[in-house]
Structure 1
């Protein structure tokens, strides 16, 4: 029987915290005893809930977490006061006191940030821990090789501040054969070999699968924890952790030759029975995944049956072809799976010319969110 609260929503977003912790264990078991498995929980833990996912990981043994923003770190440290929390976006001007008071560690990525953090350490007379981010080729955040060496040789800075971690980020880890991976590994080793006593980190989710050479002292997986696909060239070994379902609002007939949806982009090539479901791009269902007469779009799953999208994805609804599916399964009020164990986020993302990261972090703002097992 449908719960009264459930009936008020157009869709359901189910998150399996046990699957997230199981994925963390899978990744941890790929490491040597030397390396620690952290967790990247930025962007609301990739859409699964920052506090809920992080607490589950903490209870399973994870002790180091990475977020993007200071505000995320503050939310996190309230529930796990003894966890180590790093802010990947670095030191925003004027935030050193707030971070230090809450035991939060910025990942310093420029000489300005290093100097501001060192000045704060000098003023307070304390060696507040922070990480250093060195760029090895992605050319986003990060100290250049010359800047890193200058920082590490600067006696005034080293007198008041010793890095708790030196890290870099892979540009092409999703493609194991890409030469950029080995090039970045070589650059990272060359830059950091003179500092054996400082922990090091290079591997994200993809880096974990690239092998022990990339693991160093700490890995910081993200997408793999939430069931996403880290590598482009191999099957995904992670458990699905998210399921998105949308409610069927009505089923109707469309005669051959009529068009469906905005812009009349798709024509019925036969007499169709279609289901209109309460999910659209306002719920994270990408408009680019829609279907036209020229190119087919994505699909949903109904009890093991594929239901192709018909026409454009609109703000609040999607139309599905359910002609060959039992009317009992496509009745008004029934739910269809838009993403989950039957339809991986990476497969859905391919139809929208995007990646599963984008789907996961944009899902279900208007859906009923619940935490339960997917099995």
Structure 2
């Protein structure tokens, strides 16, 4: 999809982040089909993983998604303003001082401990009705959710759950992107062991993006994909089976001849081996292009790979354009730093991190343009 699009729209922007809403909708549809009849939700936390919740939320709703997950109350309030008819769940839970916010904005708290259970029950009494909630069970992450001890108490005192309208019991997989990791089966076993105490009250949700690809045993009643919707990989070390969503095109500020022995960038960490040409590009770590990509990352001009050389600085980086015909690139032109030939997953591998960090770290100095390459809209 992105491979057929122009790199820039002719504006004077230093760089452009192009986001393909059609690809996001297609990825959602593909994941939904893989789930069979199981409901497919969507995680749109962190501003839809850096792609813009204000545009992505409505696009996913248009694609059929009705249950959305955010991290914070503020994100939930913002999404509610965009999607008045969606179910919006807040993963960070029911924190003290937020009790009035959830019913006011129709948000669903994901309950993470026994104290929050007490809090949601009191809220139901105050409201005079059963408020919706979800119950998070920790099966191995040791982060949020009811512990094994908490679940023992729930099994011994089932009335502790009286009051709320419990929608789902959920848990989060630790290593779903590694299908061979035994923790997947161990978490599935713990989750199943917890459900008999809960299934008369609520349905179940375990699979994140990668969990969907572990197979039907992990699907239960609702899946919660996030990273995969935005083109992220679902299996460690392998290309994503889903469509790329973002394309980052950056403007060339200057092209200069360099001689063998010249150095490039701060610290002189790159030494030119033979005479050539270097292009200075208007993107740096202040734009979310990680400093770890110094002499590791790559830009592309069409299908031609241009290695990043020297240190990435705050506002600029350098690429070796010695192999580019001078007629094909000049100051004011653009190269792709992310796109169909170099995805967020590729950049993450080069930086020694994960695609989540690349995607969510994209800055706000870019001119953002939204298109739908599937329908041809822009």
- TM (norm. structure 2) is 0.94
**Moved segments of 4+, more than 4 Å:** 1-4
Q: Which residue of 2 aligns with 1:105?
A: 108
CA distance in 2, matches of 1:80, 1:102: 11
> Of the candidates 61, 64, 78, which is equivalent to residue 58 of structure 1?
61
CA distance in 2, matches of 1:143, 1:24: 30
Deviation, 1:374, is 5.4
Do 2:169 and 2:198's aligned partners in 1 also have CA atoms closer than 8 Å? no
Do 1:171 and 1:180's aligned partners in 2 also have CA atoms closer than 8 Å? yes
CA distance in 1, matches of 2:24, 2:9: 26
Q: Which residue of 1 aligns with 2:365?
A: 366
Which runs of 5 or more structure 2 residues have no equivalent in the other structure? 1-5
Do 1:303 and 1:329's aligned partners in 2 also have CA atoms closer than 8 Å? no
Do 2:291 and 2:312's aligned partners in 1 also have CA atoms closer than 8 Å? yes
Q: Which residue of 2 aligns with 1:294?
A: none
Q: How many residue pairs were aligned?
A: 367
Q: CA RMSD in A?
A: 1.6
CA distance in 1, matches of 2:16, 2:252: 12
CA deviation string 1:158-213 (max 9, x = no partner): 33224211000000011010000000000000111343341110100000000000
The 5-angstrom pairing of residues 335-374 of structure 1 reads 335-373=334-372
Q: Which residue of 2 aligns with 1:219?
A: 223
> Of the candidates 193, 198, 207, which is equivalent to residue 196 of structure 2?
193
Deviation, 1:364, is 3.3
Instruction: Report the 3-state secondary structure (helix = DSSP H, G, I; strand = E; otherwise coil) of the residue aligned with 1:164.
Output: strand
CA deviation string 1:254-281 (max 9, x = no partner): 1100111001111000012010000000
> Of the candidates 141, 147, 169, which is equivalent to residue 138 of structure 1?
141
Deviation, 1:94, is 1.4
Do 1:345 and 1:360's aligned partners in 2 also have CA atoms closer than 8 Å? yes
Q: Which residue of 1 aligns with 2:292?
A: 288
CA distance in 1, matches of 2:162, 2:345: 47
Do 1:152 and 1:158's aligned partners in 2 also have CA atoms closer than 8 Å? no
Which runs of 5 or more structure 1 residues have no equivalent in the other structure? 292-296
Q: Which residue of 1 aligns with 2:3?
A: none
CA deviation string 1:3-55 (max 9, x = no partner): 67x20x2100000001000000010001131x100000000001111121010
Q: Which residue of 2 aligns with 1:311?
A: 310
Deviates more, 1:312-321 or 1:235-244: 235-244
CA distance in 1, matches of 2:30, 2:153: 39
Q: Which residue of 2 aligns with 1:279?
A: 283
Q: Which residue of 2 aligns with 1:78?
A: 81
Instruction: Report the 3-state secondary structure (helix = DSSP H, G, I; strand = E; otherwise coil) of the residue aligned with 2:34.
Output: coil
- TM (norm. structure 1) is 0.94
Do 1:67 and 1:86's aligned partners in 2 also have CA atoms closer than 8 Å? yes
Do 1:14 and 1:374's aligned partners in 2 also have CA atoms closer than 8 Å? no
Instruction: Report the 3-state secondary structure (helix = DSSP H, G, I; strand = E; otherwise coil) of the residue aligned with 1:12.
Output: strand
Q: Which residue of 1 aligns with 2:118?
A: 115
The 5-angstrom pairing of residues 10-49 of structure 1 reads 10-33=14-37, 35-49=38-52
Matched, 1:321 2:320: yes
